[in-house]
Amino acid sequence: MFKQNNYIFPLLILLLVVVLICSIAFGAVSILPSEMASAIQHFLNGKGPQGIYESVFLQLRLPRVLLCAITGAVLAVSGVLMQGLFRNPIVEPGLVGTSAGAAFGASLVFVLGVNMSPAIKAMTGPLLVPLFAFAGALLATWIVYALSKHTKHVSIVSLLLVGIAVNAIGLSGTGFMSYIARDPQARSITFWNLGTFSGASWLQVVIVATVAAIIFFIALRYTKELNALLLGEEEAGYLGVDADKLKRRIMLLNTAMVAVVTAFVGVISFMGLIVPHILRLLIGSDNKKLLPASMLLGAALLCLADVLARLLLAPAEIPIGIITSFVGAPVFILLLKKFNLLQQKGGGDA
Partner 1 sequence: MLKLEQISYAIGNKQILHSISAVLQPGEVTMILGPNGSGKSSLLRIFSGAVDNYTGEVWYDERNLRAIKKLQLAHIRAVMTQQPELSFPLPVEEVVMMGRYPHFEFNPSVHDHQLCEAAMERLKLNDFRKRNYLTLSGGERQRVQFARVLAQLGEESKEGNRFLFLDEPLNNLDIRYQHAFLKEAAAFAAQPATVVAVMHDLNLALQYADRLLFLKEGELVAYGKPEEIVTEELVQEVFAVQSHILQNPLNGKPMVVYK
Nearer to partner 1, 23 or 287 (CB): 287
DSSP string, 191-214: HHHH---TT--HHHHHHHHHHHHH
Nearer to partner 1, 121 or 345 (CB): 345
User: Is the CB of residue 19 less than 8 Å from the CB of residue 304?
Assistant: yes
Rg (CA), the chain: 21
Interface mask toward partner 1 for 156-185; x: CB under 8 A: ------------------------------
* Residue 343 in the binding site for partner 1 (CB under 8 A): yes
Helix (H, G, I), strand (E, B) or coil at 241: coil
* Residue 30 in the binding site for partner 1 (CB under 8 A): no
H helices of the chain, in order, are: 8-25, 33-44, 51-55, 62-86, 98-112, 118-124, 128-147, 156-180, 183-194, 202-220, 223-229, 233-238, 243-265, 271-283, 287-311, 320-347
Nearer to partner 1, 122 or 350 (CB): 350
Q: Checking DSSP bridges between strand 153-154 and strand 149-150, what pairing results, if any?
A: antiparallel
Characterize 84-117 residue by residue with b for buried, 16 or more Cβ atoms within 10 angstroms of its Cβ, and e for exposed: bbbeeeebbbbbbbbbbbbbbbbbbbbbebeeee
Q: Which of 46, 184, 240, 315 binds partner 1 (CB under 8 A)?
A: 240
Return the amino acid letter for 89. Answer: P
Q: Which of 126, 175, 284, 330 binds partner 1 (CB under 8 A)?
A: 284
* Residue 238 in the binding site for partner 1 (CB under 8 A): yes
Taking the complex as a whole, how short is the minimal distance between the CB of residue 223 and partner 1, in angstroms?
8
Nearest to 169 by CA among 141, 131, 190: 141
Residue 125, number of CB atoms within 10 A of its CB: 8
* Residue 326 in the binding site for partner 1 (CB under 8 A): no
Interface mask toward partner 1 for 261-280; x: CB under 8 A: -------------------x
Q: Tell me how far apart the alpha carbons of residues 12 and 73 are, in angstroms, rounded to a whole number.
A: 12
Which residues are CB-neighbours of 76 under 8 A, at least 6 positions away? 271, 272, 275, 276, 294, 295, 297, 298, 299, 301
Segment near partner 1 (CB under 8 A), from 100-108, 171-179, 204-212, 232-240?
Answer: 232-240
Q: Tell me how far apart the alpha carbons of residues 81 and 31 are, in angstroms, rounded to a whole number.
A: 37
Q: Tell me how far apart the alpha carbons of residues 22 and 27 are, in angstroms, rounded to a whole number.
A: 9
Q: Which of 41, 235, 326, 340 binds partner 1 (CB under 8 A)?
A: 235
Q: Which of 23, 204, 227, 324 binds partner 1 (CB under 8 A)?
A: 227
* Residue 346 in the binding site for partner 1 (CB under 8 A): yes
* Residue 345 in the binding site for partner 1 (CB under 8 A): yes
Interface mask toward partner 1 for 185-224; x: CB under 8 A: ------------------------------------x--x
Taking the complex as a whole, how short is the minimal distance between the CB of residue 11 and partner 1, in angstroms?
20
Interface mask toward partner 1 for 55-94; x: CB under 8 A: ----------------------------x---xxx-----
Taking the complex as a whole, how short is the minimal distance between the CB of residue 348 and partner 1, in angstroms?
8
Q: Which residues bind partner 1 (CB under 8 A)?
A: 1-2, 83, 87-89, 221, 224-225, 227-228, 230-232, 234-235, 237-242, 280, 284-286, 343, 345-347, 349-350
